Amino acid sequence: MKNYFKNMKTITKVDYATYLGVIAAFVIVTLLQSAGMLTRSMTGMLVPICCYICMAVSLNLTVGILGELSLGHAGFMSVGAFSGVIVSMSLQSSVPNELVRLVLALVMGAILAAVVGFVVGIPVLRLRGDYLAIVTLAFGEIIKGIINCLLVGWDENGLHIALNIDGTKTMDSLHLGENSIQIIKGAQGAAGNHRIATFTAGFVLVMITLIIVLNLVRSRTGRAVMAIRDNRIAAESVGINVTKYKLIAFVTSAALAGASGALFGLNYSSVSADQFDFNTSILVLVYVVLGGLGNIWGSIIATVVLYVLPEALREFSDYRMLAYAVVLILVMLATNNECFKAALSRVIPKRRKGAAANG
Amino acid sequence: MEFLSYLITGISLGSIYAIIALGYTMVYGIAKMLNFAHGDVIMVGGYVAFYSMTYASGSLLGDSPSAVATGLSTLVCVLLAMAVCTVLGIVIEGLAYRPLREAGSLAVLITAIGVSYFLQNAAQLLFGANPKNFTPVISGQLTLFGGQLRISYVALLTVAACIVIMVCLTLFTSRSKMGKAMRACSEDKGAAQLMGIHVNRTISMTFAIGSALAAIAGVLLCSYSPVLLPTTGSMPGIKAFTAAVFGGIGSIPGAFLGGILLGIIESMAQAYISTQLSNAILFAVLIVVLLVKPSGLLGKYVPEKV
Amino acid sequence: MAKKVFEKGKMVPVPSHSIIPERDLYKSPILECSHLGIDFGGLAAVKDFNITVGRTEIAGLIGPNGAGKTTVFNLLTKVYHPTRGTILVDGMDTAGKTPAQVNRMGIARTFQNIRLFNNLSVEDNVKIGLHNQTRYNALSGILRLPNYWKQEKMAHESAMELLSIFDMQDLAGHKAGSLPYGAQRRLEIVRALATNPSLLLLDEPAAGMNPSETVELMENIVKIRDTFHIAIMLIEHDMNLVMGICEGICVLNFGQIIAKGTAEEIQNNPVVIEAYLGKQKEG
């Protein structure tokens, strides 16, 4: 056993350490929670943190591993959130078990987001660089616009869906029967949801996301995706179907974002499309870049720190977002400027060189 | 007639987008970075103009100032806004972007986002979160066809300003020494440096021009929809960025064309299809255009060399 | 050194019809180009390019700078789509194929300006070359099904065997981008070989190498041909290398073939001498 560990590659060790770290964090937080040592605001942050970790890890698949800048990741989260809410609300009577309903909602969120990711991905991935970025941004805004017009209700006859294009329709236009539930009310979003998301579910989702992304990256598929990132022409020259592998990465990333969106949606009694706008996409992108492109555990740490930071800065009240901005700029300067780096390395003893291919 | 009025609204709105997009496109062309803080420079321009105009009308001008005095003071206020934004642009570039000249594009992008957050939150602290009511720089409207068609003077001014800026910029980049230096830097910074061009100064100059344009756009934007908030600049900023990509990022005529078209599409979509979906429609058109012309309408396609 | 590997030969199926390397130009060639040409903006960069490469031939493509040699490689690998003419690989037309499909048809290449996957390890670079030899889908990769472990083990062994051609096993864990220049060039060849090609295109393999490295490279090119029984076509400016190992040589100037033949024929061809040195003044 000891030998086995010694023979493992550094990358594999990093992967296992990531899993272990997440498990340890979950255990510690659960213990603290049961001991009553967490404040209400801290408890309230647990599920969103899990969601954002999944968002960051899945976005890292697109930005860090595939190397394409996406500014519309929140769009997939939005698709997942609303499809999750629809599933959970409309199955209330037929599936009374909350856990089963939660799982169904997450799976549905992932599937729908994957479908949307596929539809968006086919044309979009033919574009390169900043053009791809702007199209993903545009796509996120389109999703937001459509959901803002969406009216969804449920009654015994099933789901009723209408698109309020000209602003004249209301929930009455759905002609819901008796015992109906109004699920999505256009720009107001979904309200009165059952909050069935739990921290344990969040932890499981994080673990599943990690397993999917890490195993994918360490497989033939992941190598092909990274080859495309490093040198598209060389990747083609060794027989890699560029579109196919770009799509696999993009759709996987979208599906995971959908699942985390579903969990996020089911953690609040109300959600609206405006919560998943461009700024949310940017927020997640910041987590990914600060955590290190292609660095999965870095994404996790960055998410936790940057999510908690504004809360921790609460005592500075008005100045906290300003401080956040300054921290963001300083960190980018510190990690990317050669002079800064040189000055830092003089202060801090040089770290051991990382594994060759942990990207 | 209704159509004509929507068209004119679209063109004037598009002119604002075009002026902002020119700033985006120039900065992108030379520094190869998406300056997400550009939209917030617009907001700063709006606030500077707002406060200076309020001050001017409150304490400098008397109770019933002459039209010439009002006009002059407005002009001075706009120039002040431009000056402030120019300095702001140069400072942002020098402090936040220049140290990252050699870094990856994502690092610069995140820094730009940081700058954007900074400007928005600083504005909120300085000016408060309450919306300010901006007095349009010019009031009144032109009535044509016996009252069937009304065009506000602001719309006319916007279009005129956009055309003048566009012509000046084209002349500047094609004729002047600094303009040629800018074009050289956008082609190849290393080679430009070897030819004795001061690359850092040229890039600063580009930011200065872009930010001055943003100030003008800020004043026009606030005259068009007179509510001023710390977040006023972000959505027009994103749309103008879209316009720049739409027309072919890096191309000055492209930014102009993209801006105008975007304004028209938005205005028409709002009028004839759906107010709620207008942004979605606008972005959908963008996606379709990019799929047909992957480098935008006037952008040139540069194939990868093997 | 790596003799064992070649004896085993298990990784690369040896084509049954050409066990002995010979210059079999006239029986079932691996590559046939006829009237190949491409225009860039109305200018013909390559015109009327005809060439036939035998199954186990080492062919050379030479010519002055800007003659269009790399363009020919780009046409063969479909990085550029030819304006005119046909390319047959093992008798099959490559019209309408993508670069990836052409690779799967049997053409692998290296690049003049090295194109490695710089952020990945040397081993991973070779494993990416083995992409189409490793068979499991994304799902079995994610779930780590038995097939994943089996195929990954095979990929690892194959990669090590291939690296041993150039004695590079020890570098397997290094980042490709951190290798010295010569090692990068060799790794590109290994990566191309990993795709199990029947024709290997080498674009200036000796560029930047010193004379002794070049000699070693020559030996290795011949060894690769003899071991894997494949055809090799190379662009090179080092005439010692070209004349030393190429069985057939083709000279390109201004996008057109000006001479074809053996090393001796080329060396004595006045047209070739003129293309390289310019016309000699009479008197």
- Residue C172, chain A, CB below 8 Å: the answer is no
Asked if C108's CB is within 8 angstroms of A237's CB, the reply is yes
Q: Is residue C1 scored above 50 in pLDDT?
A: no
**Which 34-63 residues of chain B touch chain A by CB within 8 A?**
34
The rounded distance, in Å, linking the Cα atoms of C70 and C112 is: 8
Q: Is residue A317 scored above 80 in pLDDT?
A: no
- pLDDT above 90 covers a percentage of chain A that reads 46
Cβ proximity of A194 and A89 under 8 Å = yes
pLDDT 10s digits, C145-161? 999 999 999 999 999 99
pLDDT 10s digits, B26-57? 888 888 888 889 999 999 999 999 998 888 87
Q: Give Cα separations from B269 to A164, B265, B278, B285, C249 (angstroms).
A: 15, 6, 5, 11, 65
Q: Is residue A351 scored above 70 in pLDDT?
A: no
What pairing do the DSSP bridges indicate for beta strands C199-203 and C231-235?
parallel
**3-state DSSP call for residue C35?**
strand
Q: Which residue has the tokens 């255990």?
A: A27
Using CB atoms, pick whichever of C100, C127, C151 lies closest to residue A239.
C100
Buried b or exposed e, range B59-95, using 16+ CB within 10 angstroms: eeeeeeeeeeebeebbeebbebbbebbbebbbebbee
- Residue A357, chain C, CB below 8 Å: the answer is yes
Helix (H), strand (E) counts: chain A:
14, 5
Q: Is residue A73 scored above 90 in pLDDT?
A: yes
- pLDDT above 90 covers a percentage of chain C that reads 63
Q: Which residue of A has its CA nearest to B28?
A: A130
ipTM of this complex prediction, to 2 decimal places:
0.86
Domain assignment present for residue A74? The answer is yes
C34 vs B62 pLDDT, higher one: C34
A168 vs B101 pLDDT, higher one: B101
In this predicted structure, what is the pLDDT of residue C218? 93
Asked if A235's CB is within 8 angstroms of C194's CB, the reply is no
Contacts 24+ apart (CB under 8 A), A100-103: A101/A196, A102/A196, A102/A197, A102/A198, A102/A201, A102/A263, A102/A266
Q: Is residue C283 scored above 50 in pLDDT?
A: no
Average pLDDT, chain B: 87
CB pairs under 8 A between B and C: 4
Q: Is residue C6 scored above 50 in pLDDT?
A: no
Q: Is residue B135 scored above 70 in pLDDT?
A: yes
pLDDT category of residue A187 using cuts at 50, 70 and 90: confident
Asked if C142's CB is within 8 angstroms of A215's CB, the reply is yes
Residue C112 sits at the vertex; the CA angle it makes with C111 and C118, to the nearest 5 degrees, is: 60
Asked if A233's CB is within 8 angstroms of B276's CB, the reply is no
pLDDT category of residue C14 using cuts at 50, 70 and 90: very low
B303 vs B2 pLDDT, higher one: B2
* Dihedral sign (CA A262, A266, A267, A271): positive
Domain assignment present for residue A331? The answer is no
- Residue A131, chain B, CB below 8 Å: the answer is yes
Asked if B294's CB is within 8 angstroms of A340's CB, the reply is no
Asked if A329's CB is within 8 angstroms of B118's CB, the reply is yes
Q: Is residue A3 scored above 80 in pLDDT?
A: no
Chain C residues with beta carbon closer than 8 angstroms to that of B306: 70, 74, 79, 111
Using CB atoms, pick whichever of A9, A231, A294 lies closest to residue C115.
A231
The rounded distance, in Å, linking the Cα atoms of B254 and B169 is: 13
In this predicted structure, what is the pLDDT of residue C26? 47
- Residue A257, chain B, CB below 8 Å: the answer is no
| Least trusted range by pLDDT, from A186-195, C93-102, C134-143 | A186-195
Chains touching chain B through at least 3 C-beta pairs below 8 angstroms are A, C
- Residue B287, chain C, CB below 8 Å: the answer is no
Mean pLDDT, range A305-326, rounded to an integer = 79
**Which 23-82 residues of chain A touch chain B by CB within 8 A?**
63, 69
Chain C residues with beta carbon closer than 8 angstroms to that of A294: 119
Domain assignment present for residue B131? The answer is yes
- Residue C158, chain B, CB below 8 Å: the answer is no
Mean pLDDT, range B250-267, rounded to an integer = 91
pLDDT category of residue A349 using cuts at 50, 70 and 90: low
The rounded distance, in Å, linking the Cα atoms of C262 and C277 is: 20
What's the number of domains chain B is made of? 1
Q: Is residue C119 scored above 70 in pLDDT?
A: yes
Q: Which residue of C has its CA nearest to A356?
A: C175
- Give the relative orientation of helices A98-124 and A73-90 as an angle to the nearest 10 degrees: 150
- Residue B280, chain A, CB below 8 Å: the answer is yes
Asked if A219's CB is within 8 angstroms of C132's CB, the reply is no
Domain assignment present for residue B91? The answer is yes
- State which residues form the domain around B125: 20-230
Q: Which residue of B has its CA nearest to C70?
A: B306
- CA-based nearest residue to B239, from B224, B223, B261, B215: B261
Chain A residues with beta carbon closer than 8 angstroms to that of C109: 237
Tell which phi-psi region holds residue A227, choosing left (phi > 0), alpha (psi between -120 and 50) or beta. Answer: alpha
Tell which phi-psi region holds residue C204, choosing left (phi > 0), alpha (psi between -120 and 50) or beta. Answer: left
**Longest CA pairwise span in chain C (Å):** 79
Cβ proximity of B110 and A290 under 8 Å = yes
Burial of B129 (0-12, 13-18, 19+ CB in 10 A): exposed
pLDDT 10s digits, A294-314? 899 999 999 999 888 877 777
Q: Give Cα separations from C141 to A181, A310, C119, C130 (angstroms).
A: 42, 38, 21, 16
Chains touching chain A through at least 3 C-beta pairs below 8 angstroms are B, C
- Residue A170, chain C, CB below 8 Å: the answer is no
Using CB atoms, pick whichever of B122, B275, B296 lies closest to residue A167.
B275
Mean pLDDT, range C121-135, rounded to an integer = 94
For residue A274, give every residue at least 6 positions away whose Cβ sits within 8 Å of its Cβ, in sequence order, or none.
A144, A148, A187, A189
**Two tokens at B188?**
């190849």
- Residue A194, chain C, CB below 8 Å: the answer is no
Q: What is the CATH number of the domain that holds A213?
A: 1.10.3470
Q: Is residue C3 scored above 60 in pLDDT?
A: no
pLDDT 10s digits, C208-229? 888 998 999 999 999 999 889 8
- Residue C116, chain A, CB below 8 Å: the answer is yes
C199 vs C5 pLDDT, higher one: C199
Q: Is residue B91 scored above 80 in pLDDT?
A: yes
What's the number of domains chain A is made of? 1
Q: Which residue of A has its CA nearest to B114?
A: A325
For residue A351, give every residue at least 6 positions away whose Cβ sits within 8 Å of its Cβ, in sequence order, or none.
none
- Residue A336, chain B, CB below 8 Å: the answer is yes
Chain B residues with beta carbon closer than 8 angstroms to that of A274: none
Backbone dihedral angles phi then psi of residue C54, each to the nearest 5 degrees = -75, 165
Alpha-carbon gap: A307 to the closest alpha carbon of chain B (Å): 15
Mean pLDDT, range B125-130, rounded to an integer = 86
Domain ranges across chain C: 1-8+21-106+197-277, 117-196
The rounded distance, in Å, linking the Cα atoms of B178 and A245 is: 45
Asked if A144's CB is within 8 angstroms of B276's CB, the reply is no
Alpha-carbon gap: B114 to the closest alpha carbon of chain A (Å): 5
| Least trusted range by pLDDT, from A199-208, B193-202, C24-33 | C24-33
- Residue C119, chain A, CB below 8 Å: the answer is yes
**Which amino acid is located at A67 in the chain?**
G
Q: Is residue B305 scored above 90 in pLDDT?
A: no
Mean pLDDT, range C62-71, rounded to an integer = 90
The CATH classification number of C1-8+21-106+197-277 equals 3.40.50.300
Domain assignment present for residue B250? The answer is no
- Residue C155, chain A, CB below 8 Å: the answer is yes
Cβ proximity of A265 and A193 under 8 Å = yes
| Least trusted range by pLDDT, from A263-277, B207-221, B280-294, C193-207 | B280-294
